[in-house]
Amino acid sequence: MTWLITGGAGYIGAHVARSMSDAGERVLALDDLSAGVAGRLPADVPLVRGSSLDAGLLKRVFAEHEVTGVVHLAARKQVAESVAQPARYYQENVGGLGTLLEAVAEAGIRKFVFSSSAAVYGSPDVDLITEDTPCAPVNPYGETKLAGEWLVRAAGRAHGISTVCLRYFNVAGAAAPELADTGVFNIVPMVFDRLARDDAPRIFGDDHPTPDGTCIRDYVHVADLAEAHLAAARRLADLGGDLTVNIGRGVGVSVRELVTVIGEVTGDTRPAVVEARRPGDAPRAVASAERAAGELGWSARRGVREMVESAWRGWLLHHPD
C-alpha cells in the first residue's frame, strides 16, 4: 500500500511519517507548511506542498503516487482560536475533510485513518472515558472533530471505505529533538516558555475535586501516538471495518504533578502560581485504553518523565538561547 499523510510535516504528522516509513510502509506527505516544517520528514518520504482543501491537487497526487490509503491529520487545532474563529474552523476542519473524502471516494481509495480528539467528549464526569461515553464537546474545535467523525463514517458507509477514528488525549514529547513541538500551545512547551522568560508556571485552579485540587489529564507520548497510527493503518489493510478508538495511557496525572516533573527535568523548581479556573475545564479526563489494546494491539510504552525529558531536549535544540 501507499499511504498519503495530510499534515505530514507537522509535529504529529512527521512522527507518523517516520514511524510508518521505519516500519516499511510506503508513505508520502501533503502539507502546506503553514505550521509544518519540511526538514522534519525522513529523506525517503516525499513531500507534496499544498492543501488538502485543493481537490485538483488531491486528484493528481492520488493518481501520480498510486495512493491506496490516507491518514488525515491536517486541521486547525487551537481551542481558543476556534472560539474566536468558529466559521474558519468549520470551513477548514469539516469542509476541508469533505473535499478530501470526495476525492478519496472518486479515486477508489478504501482505507482512511482520521485524526480526532478527546475534545469530542467535552467534560464528562467519569473516572475513565470509554469510546461509548456520550460526546458533548464544549468548544468549536471539539465540535468540528465530532462532525468530522460523523462525516468519515458516513462516507465510509456510502463508498465502502474502511475507517478508523483515533481520539487523541494530551500529546507530549518527541521521538527526536528535531521533531519536537515548536508551538507554545500545549502545557509542556507552555511551561518551558514561562521558565525561559524567567517566570513561574501557571496552574488554572487548585480547588477541583481531585486529590491535589488540580485537573487530572491523560498524557501520551507522541512516539506512542505515531505507533498507534501505524497499528490503525495495518488494521485497515488486514481487516478493514469501521472503528473508533481512544489513544491514551489510561493513567491520570495532575497538572501539579506534571509541573513538578518539568521542574525536576529542567532544574527550575520554582513554585507554580495558581490562577482562577478556566471555564469548561473538566476536573478529570483520562482514557480507557482497552479498545486500543484489543482492536489494534497497541498500548502506550512511554511515561510522563520520558515525555518531558524528550520535549526538553527538543526545546533546547530549537531555543538555544
Per-residue pLDDT of the chain (321 residues; tens, 9 = 90+): 999 999 999 999 999 999 999 999 999 999 999 999 999 999 999 999 999 999 999 999 999 999 999 999 999 999 989 999 999 999 999 999 999 999 999 999 999 999 999 999 999 999 999 999 999 999 999 999 999 999 999 999 999 999 999 999 999 999 999 999 988 989 999 999 999 999 999 999 999 999 999 999 999 999 999 999 999 999 999 999 999 999 999 999 999 999 999 999 999 999 999 999 887 788 999 999 999 999 999 999 999 999 999 999 999 999 887
The 10 Å CB-count burial string (b at 16+, else e) for 234-265 is: bbbeeebeebbbbbbbbbbbbbbbbbbbbbeb
Which three cell numbers mark 163? 475507517
Which three cell numbers mark 313? 531536549
CB atoms within 10 A of CB 25: 18
**Which domains does the chain show, CATH number per domain?**
2-171+219-247 (3.40.50.720), 173-217+250-285+301-318 (3.90.25.10)
What does the longest C-alpha to C-alpha distance in the chain come to? 57
What pTM does this model have? Answer: 0.96
Residue 94's alpha-carbon distances to 58, 152, 159, in angstroms, are: 16, 10, 18
| 226 vs 131: CA distance, rounded Å | 20
| 270 vs 259: CA distance, rounded Å | 10
Single-letter residue type at 22 = D
pLDDT digits (tens, 9 = 90+) for 66-100: 999 999 999 999 998 999 999 999 999 999 999 99
Which three cell numbers mark 272? 507554580
Residues in the chain: 321
pLDDT digits (tens, 9 = 90+) for 240-279: 999 999 999 999 999 999 999 999 999 999 999 999 988 7
| 209 vs 213: CA distance, rounded Å | 6
Residues tagged active-site:
141
Single-letter residue type at 168 = Y
